[in-house]
Structure 1
C-alpha cells in the first residue's frame, strides 16, 4: 500500500521513453539544417534508410552536411557533464530530460509543477535536477529567467548564492547607481557594487548567445499563401523538406538480430519524420487562422498565443509545441518569420476569469506605448508605469515592469530624462523606440 514504489514506477515508465518516441521528439526539435545533417548521418550507417536531401540555400546546406567531428554538441556536452556528477539515477534521468527542454539560447522555459505532475515527481528531485543542470558549463545554462542567469554568473565570481540573488532583485538600483541604499542593505562597499554593476552590464542576454558559430539564416519549412479573395492557406515548402524511404528487409535477413534492429530503426525514423511534418503543418494552420489579422494588417495586429493555448487546441503537450517551434520559420509573401514570433507566455497572476490573461507580449507593447507618449521632461518611473498598468487591469510588481523594460532595451527613467538646455525638437530620449523591433 506504500505510495513510494508507485511513484518510482511511474517515473521509470514515463522517463524511459520508447526508442521510437524519443527519436520522434528529437527530430521534431531539430531545425532544418540540423535535420538534414542528422538524417544524412543515419543513412550512412543504416543500409535500410534511403535519404534524399531537400534543396536548402547553398551556405545553409553546406553547413548542415559538413562534418561535426571537431566538437560535440551542447546537448552532448551537458549530458556528459551531468553523468560525471555522480547523481542518483532518478535525479540524473530528470536532469537529462531537462537538457532536452532547453531553449536555443540556453534558458530553461518549462513549468516545474507540470513536470512534477506529469512524471509523479517530488519537487525536491526536480530542484536537484535543475541544480545539476545549472552546475554545468557554460555558466548560466538552465537559468529560468534573466535574473537567475545573472545570479548564476555572479556566483561564479565568488559571491554567495544568497547575496547574488538579493543583488539581482535590485537590478534597477544597480543600473541607476543607488549606492547608498545598496551599501546599507548588502554591506558591500561602493567600489565593489560598481564592479558588480559593470560585470552585469558585460553579460550577454542569454547563456548561449556567445557560444558557437554565427547563426545561419532561418529556413522556412511552411508557407502561408493569400488567395485573391484574401483567404489564407498553408503549404509545406516541399522543396526544402528532406525525404526518406525504408528499403525492404530481405526474407533471409529476418533471423539476423542486428539487421532487424537496423530495419526497425529506419521505420521509426521514417515515421518520426512524417509526424514532424504533420505537426508543423497543423501548427502552421492554427497560426494562419489565429493570426489572420497580422498577415493582412501588419505587426501591430498580432495576437500573441501561448504554447499552452496551441497545445490545447491541437491536443498536444505544451512541450511538444515548444519542440515544434524551436528554430522553425514560415514564409509569407517573401518574408520569413520565426514561429516563435507568434508565441508569448501569459503574465503570471493575471488570470481574472474575464477572458484570457494578457500575454507578456501585450504588456511589453503597452509599456512601450506609455514610454513613447511620456513627456521628455518628466519620463515615467517604473512605479508609475506599474500603477497605470494596474488601473488597466494588469497587476504586476515594479521589478517585473523593470524586467520587461530592460528586455526591450529601454533605459530607466533617469536615462531617458532630457538634459537641461536640450531644444524641444531634439527629443533623444525615446528616439530609439521608433527604430526598435517589436519583441
Structure 2
C-alpha cells in the first residue's frame, strides 16, 4: 500500500513562472475556451492581432523581423514537460491547416453534448483507475472521491473515511492519508483538500517546491487566508514576520493559483464541442491532422513593435510596448506548444489504437496515462490535461482523447485485453442472447473465460452496469 513517505513522481524541478502557468492553463482549455481566452488577450494586448483585424496590413512586410531586444527574459524557455519541437516566430500561422477527410468545413462537425459532460468525480476516478495503485488503495481512493464535493473539497475527515471502510480490509489511518495525498496530486491539483487554504497550499507546493519562502507561504495560506482576502497586509506581516518585499513576492505568486480548480468540470461549462484533430485513412495509412478551425492565426503588430526601439518613443510608452511585446510572444509560443503537444498525443493514441479504428471497441488495446507519458517523455499530469476535453474526429465518430485509455485484464495466452474491449464483448453477448433466457453475470463470466478472458463476476457486473444494461432478471421481465 501507499504510505506517507512514498516518493510520488511529481516532476517539479523548476519554479512555476507566469509564462509556464499560462502554458499549462492553455493545455487544459477546450477549443471553445481557447477561443474565448484568445479574444480576451486580443482585447487587452495591442501588440497581438489577427491578420483579418488589420485593414492596413501590407503583405510585403509580413516577413519583416521585429527587434529582438525589448526584454532579456525573452530567452526564457518552457521546461521539458511542455517543450515543443517546432520553432516559433512572431507570426503564428501553422502549416498543418487542413480540411477534414471529406473536404467539408469543420463547423459541419460541431457536436452537441447533452447531459453527459464529464464531472469532477468521473475525471478523478478515471485517473485513479488508470493508476498503479493496489486494489485496496483504489478502493480507498474511490471512497475519498465520494467525499469530495463539487468545489473539490473533502467533506469528511480521514478518520471518518477510515471508519466508513470495511474492517476486514486491515487498513489504518496512515493508509487513508497516503491515498488522500495521492488524490491531492491528481489533475487538477488540490482536490480533496480540507478547505480553500489547503487547496491553494497544495497548488503552491506543487508549482514552487523549492521556493525559499515556501514555509511562509504555507503559514499564509493555511493559517492567515482570511487576512489575505481582506488585504490586511499589516496583520499578515505581524503574523508571518514577512517583510514588504517578501510579502509582495508571495502575493504575486498567489495570483497564479486557482481558487476554484474544480470549476472547469461543471456540467454547465461545455455545451458544444469542435473536434481538435481529424483522423483519416489514406492509402492504407492512418493520418492525423489538426482541425483548421481550432488553430488561431495570430501575429505581432509590427507598427507597435517598431515603436519599442524607436528613440522618439518616450520611456513610459516604450516600457509599456516592450512588456506587451514579451507577453504577446509568450502567448504565441504557448499556442504553438499547445497544438504541438495535442498533435503528438493524438498521433501516439492513433499508433496504439489502429485496431480500434479499423474494427471498433472489441479491438481496443489497454493503454494508461503512464504509457503515453513514457513514450512522449511527458509527465502523466500533462497527458491528463491534454486528453481532457480534446476530441478526435474519426471514421467511427467523435471521441474524447481519454476514451482511448483503458485498464487491462489478463488473458490465458499471456496477453492483455482492455476494459473497453471487454465491455464491448459483454454488450455483444447480451445483444445476441435469447430474451426469454438472458445471460446471468455468472454465465457472461463463463463465456468470457471460455474466450480466454480472465475476468471475475463482480467485474462483469460492474461493466454491465456501466453500460446501463439491466440485470438478467430485469431483462427477462422486460422481454
TM-score, normalised via structure 2 length = 0.50
Q: Does 1:232 align with 2:294?
A: no
Residues 55-70 of structure 1: pairs in structure 2 closer than 5 A: 57=107
Deviation at 1:354, TM superposition (A): 3.2
CA contact (8 A) 2:366 2:417 kept: no
Higher RCO (Cα < 8 Å, 6 or more apart):
2
Aligned to 1:358: 417
Structure 1 unpaired stretches of 5+: 61-100, 117-122, 144-151, 167-206, 420-427, 430-439
Between Structure 1 and Structure 2, how many residues are aligned? Answer: 305
Q: Aligned-residue CA RMSD in angstroms?
A: 4.9
The 1:39/1:105 distance shift into structure 2, 3 A limit, reads farther
For residues 237-290 of structure 1, give each alpha carbon's deviation from its aligned partner in whole angstroms, at most 9, with x where no partner exists.
224311332443713688877665543332222111101111222233334434
Q: Does 1:274 align with 2:333?
A: no
Give the Cα separation in 2 of the matches to 1:328 and 1:289. Answer: 17
Residues 52-131 of structure 1: pairs in structure 2 closer than 5 A: 57=107, 107-111=124-128
The 1:282/1:208 distance shift into structure 2, 3 A limit, reads closer
CA contact (8 A) 2:364 2:404 kept: no
The 1:403/1:208 distance shift into structure 2, 3 A limit, reads farther
Deviation at 1:164, TM superposition (A): 7.1
Deviation at 1:378, TM superposition (A): 3.6
Deviation at 1:407, TM superposition (A): 0.8
Aligned to 2:275: 220
Give the Cα separation in 2 of the matches to 1:415 and 1:29. Answer: 41
Give the Cα separation in 2 of the matches to 1:208 and 1:310. Answer: 24
Secondary structure of 1:212 counterpart: coil
Secondary structure of 2:348 counterpart: helix
CA contact (8 A) 1:382 1:413 kept: yes
The 1:47/1:56 distance shift into structure 2, 3 A limit, reads farther
Counterpart among 450, 453, 463 of residue 404 in structure 1: 463
Residues 260-409 of structure 1: pairs in structure 2 closer than 5 A: 260-297=322-359, 301-303=363-365, 305-332=367-394, 336-340=397-401, 342-347=403-408, 350=410, 354-355=414-415, 357-390=416-449, 392-409=451-468
TM-score, normalised via structure 1 length = 0.54
Aligned to 2:36: 37
Deviation at 1:394, TM superposition (A): 4.3
Deviation at 1:30, TM superposition (A): 1.2
CA contact (8 A) 2:361 2:420 kept: no
CA contact (8 A) 1:254 1:260 kept: no
CA contact (8 A) 2:444 2:460 kept: yes
CA contact (8 A) 2:119 2:265 kept: no
Deviation at 1:324, TM superposition (A): 1.5
